[in-house]
Amino acid sequence: MNPHDVSLAEGRWLWRRLFVFLTSLALWTLVHRAVERAPIEALPGLVERLLMLIALITVLYLVAPTAQQLVALSVRFRIEAGGRP
């Protein structure tokens, strides 16, 4: 198995998962504290924005491996077709 092969799965999955987990945990903590401390009138907008940020991070977590695989596939097809990488 060649460690430089672009078709291999990304080696930083652990760090991506750890980052997303810790960031989501921090944002959920912010939501909890906002509910406790913010005035009632400000809560709907504040909590909605924090939850949208959690959703964005989750989507980026799910899309990033797909983007990496698409780039690897593109490079492989160019190499097999005799083009430059």
Q: What is the pLDDT of residues 8-44, one digit of tens each?
A: 455 567 777 788 788 888 888 988 888 889 898 988 8
Model-level pTM greater than 0.85? no
pLDDT reported for residue 38: 86
Q: Residue 33 and residue 47: Cα distance in Å, rounded?
A: 10
Residue 18 lies in a domain: yes
Q: Is residue 36 part of a domain?
A: yes
- pLDDT exceeding 70 applies to what percent of the chain? 71
One DSSP character per residue, 19-55 reads: HHHHHHHHHHHHHHHHHHHS-GGGHHHHHHHHHHHHH
Give the number of domains in the chain.
1
- For helices 13-37 and 43-80, the axis angle rounded to 10 degrees is 170
Predicted confidence band at 81 (pLDDT cuts at 50, 70, 90)?
low
Q: Would you say residue 8 lies in a domain? A: no
3-state secondary structure of 6: coil
Burial group, residue 22, by CB count within 10 angstroms (0-12, 13-18, 19+): exposed
- Domain of 42, in residue numbers: 13-80
**Any domain includes 25:** yes
